[in-house]
Structure 1
Amino acid sequence: MKLQRKLMIAILSGILLIASGCSNKSGDNKKTNQENKAETIKNFEIVEAKSFKVKNIRGIGYPGNDNALYLAANDGLKMYNDGKWTKTTTNQHDYIGFQALESGFLSSGHPQKGTGFSDPLGLVKSTDKGNTLQKLALYGKTNFHFTASSFSGNGLYVISEQPNDALSLGVNYSTDNGGTWKKSAFKDFNADSLGMMAVHPNNGAIMAMSTRSGIYYSTDNGNTMKLITDPIMVTALTFIGDSILFSSVENEKILLKTINPASGEQTSIAFPFLDYDNPITYLTVNPKNTNQMAFTTYKNDLYESSDGGKNWRNLLKDGKKELE
């Protein structure tokens, strides 16, 4: 029972109980024309990060306009490429719900103090490594802990924890970059929780969700859902082409697998041993090179593979990058 309690605490970062709710800061600033423009912060640079410690990992991904693995943290972006870590000198926002796109990335979260952005950020997008942020939706009004997007950018999903004029409670999707929203009906969804979402890299109508009772899959923007796994605890998932890469906890073991949603065929992937109370929290695959993948854990470990999971490099341990 003790292990079960520890595991449940660990996966709270990947599973959302809508019934519990979450308070979002609401800005009372009225929209202006300036708010709809990208905002540039002076003295923005990307510099080498020789040592750092990440307190909270908010997401990972491979933006299509760069060659690096991006790690979103509570103090901004960290980027890893060719054995070297870099970071931004400003715009060190608390990026929450980070998603890599072909053109850059999108995120929600809270701004770095003194940068002039409203809190919360709503949904913002960057095509220049975080130098400028374009406001997509609900800027200054809502923070989204759970977001998902196709790599191509043609399908965007959020979990609304509090209903408002634009969004219904639960999962909402947009096909016009957050301009308008529709509620996903979630027909045949029988799980008792909502969790992490993933979207097909090229087809925004295809999405999946991890829950405490398996993976649910949809080909119609979440309006109809289908359970494609056994009723297992799934803590993280992402698409790898038409298949899904996911991590589950079964028989007190942390596993990494792929599943073909059409056939149900599953394949196991070997990876470094993880303690039972250190489950995988985020998974990412580079859509431009599906042999390149990475995952993070509850205790802020980060691993990356460049050969489809045959070999793994430990890039962060307990969130630390030590001075070499």
Structure 2
Amino acid sequence: MKRTLLVSTLMMTVFLASCGGTEPASETTAPVTEKNEAPTEQVPDRWEATAADTEVSHIHGAGFWQDGRPVIATHTGLMEFREDGWYELSSNRHDYMGFELVADGFYASGHPAQDSPYKNPLGVVRGTEKGETLEIRSLEGEADFHYMSVGYETESIYVYLEQATKELAPGFYRSLDGGVSFEPMKMDGIDGRGIAGIMADASEPERVFVYGPDGILVSDDGGDTFEPFNDQGNIVTMAAAKGQLAYIAKTGTSFDLVVSDLTEETETTVELPSMNTESVPIELFIQEGRLLLGTSDNSVYVFDDEQWMQLLKAGKIN
């Protein structure tokens, strides 16, 4: 789950809140018909129904697959929600960190499964085919990015590196080539601001937001310079879609969810579901009017057709 970290960098105090190989697809040939149809490929379903009473822990990312199904990244791999409940991918059961969906897959970091050929930590991983195929982009065996955001359409990557690698010192970095290489962000304009997280714009490659107790700041030059976007108070999590932002602000012990239309410059408040009073929103995803929310007690909610549905309660599979 996302954590809160106190980081001292020069004149600013920054605290960030975020806490195997591919199997070949089998092929079968369809019966010959009068129309002489070409053979069709039958791809096996490598997702297994999650057993009742399973406890899900350490949700490090969430959203909607390209087919619309909700997905979460957990301590033991990927899980998706179907009409009859939760399913888990039987392969590549890695402890994904910084899991971020993009238009045709996802990016992540984290730690490999025990039987995996990958080095620990994973560095930057690009996943396709719902996680059945993985490609290491860089920093395998060197970096574990807990704080990573990726543009859904652009695949621009913005990260905070906690521990030094062979070539990179701790700090904020961007990658505009899909995680192959990284360059430092100057972060001018955030002195004295508290930062709880970082969010890449969905469709503008060099636009990135940072958020925290002082509201939201925005940069249009890849994180070199920032200016205030709004001062809506303590922002605990954010999400971005094309032309939209969604964010959750905390006031006292209550939370407010706001969806901002960047084109129309309008904001709409969405009533949050009834949550455990001790849980905190940590994951938020927005796509085509749908919202997915994950909380610190490993609960998962989906907002669709103007109503919330709880998919997972305190991490327990019914």
**TM-score higher than 0.5 here?**
yes
The 10-residue stretch of structure 1 (140-149 or 269-278) with the greater mean CA deviation from structure 2: 269-278
Match of 1:259 in 2: 260
How far does residue 68 in structure 1 lie from its aligned partner after superposition? Answer: 1.7
Q: Percent identity?
A: 23
Equivalent residues of 1:46, 1:88 under 8 A apart: yes
How far does residue 180 in structure 1 lie from its aligned partner after superposition? Answer: 2.1
How far does residue 190 in structure 1 lie from its aligned partner after superposition? Answer: 3.3
Q: TM-score, normalised by structure 1?
A: 0.81
Q: Distance in 2 between matches of 1:15 and 1:262?
A: 32
How far does residue 55 in structure 1 lie from its aligned partner after superposition? Answer: 1.4
3-state DSSP of counterpart to 1:294: strand
- The one-letter amino acid of 1:56's match is H
How far does residue 168 in structure 1 lie from its aligned partner after superposition? Answer: 4.2
Match of 2:303 in 1: 305
Counterparts in 2 of 1:219-234, with a 5 A limit?
Answer: 219-230=220-231, 232-234=233-235
Match of 1:8 in 2: none
Q: 2:310 aligns with which of 303, 307, 314?
A: 314
How far does residue 41 in structure 1 lie from its aligned partner after superposition? Answer: 5.4
The 10-residue stretch of structure 1 (48-57 or 12-21) with the greater mean CA deviation from structure 2: 12-21
Unaligned runs of 5+ in 2: 15-19, 26-44
Change in 2 beyond 3 A, CA 1:131/1:77: same
- The one-letter amino acid of 2:2's match is S
How far does residue 282 in structure 1 lie from its aligned partner after superposition? Answer: 0.4
Q: Distance in 2 between matches of 1:259 and 1:102?
A: 21
How far does residue 189 in structure 1 lie from its aligned partner after superposition? Answer: 1.1
Q: Distance in 2 between matches of 1:193 and 1:42?
A: 47
How far does residue 218 in structure 1 lie from its aligned partner after superposition? Answer: 1.7
- The one-letter amino acid of 1:299's match is D
Counterparts in 2 of 1:180-191, with a 5 A limit?
Answer: 180-191=181-192
3-state DSSP of counterpart to 2:129: coil
Unaligned runs of 5+ in 1: 1-11, 22-37
Q: Between Structure 1 and Structure 2, which shows a larger proportion of helix residues? A: 1
Equivalent residues of 1:166, 1:181 under 8 A apart: no
User: For 1:265-299, what per-residue CA distance to the aligned partner results, in whole angstroms no more than 9, with x for missing partners?
Assistant: 5321112123443121000012xxx2221101111
Equivalent residues of 2:142, 2:165 under 8 A apart: no
How far does residue 18 in structure 1 lie from its aligned partner after superposition? Answer: 2.1
Counterparts in 2 of 1:130-169, with a 5 A limit?
Answer: 130-169=131-170
Q: Distance in 1 between matches of 2:238 and 2:64?
A: 15
3-state DSSP of counterpart to 2:8: helix
The 10-residue stretch of structure 1 (134-143 or 162-171) with the greater mean CA deviation from structure 2: 162-171
Does residue 178 of structure 1 match 2:176? Answer: no
Task: List structure 1 segments (4+ residues) > 4 angstroms apart after TM superposition.
Answer: 41-44, 260-265
3-state DSSP of counterpart to 1:129: helix
How far does residue 154 in structure 1 lie from its aligned partner after superposition? Answer: 3.4
How far does residue 95 in structure 1 lie from its aligned partner after superposition? Answer: 0.6
Change in 2 beyond 3 A, CA 1:187/1:232: same
How far does residue 157 in structure 1 lie from its aligned partner after superposition? Answer: 1.2
Q: Distance in 2 between matches of 1:207 and 1:126?
A: 22
Does residue 13 of structure 1 match 2:25? Answer: no
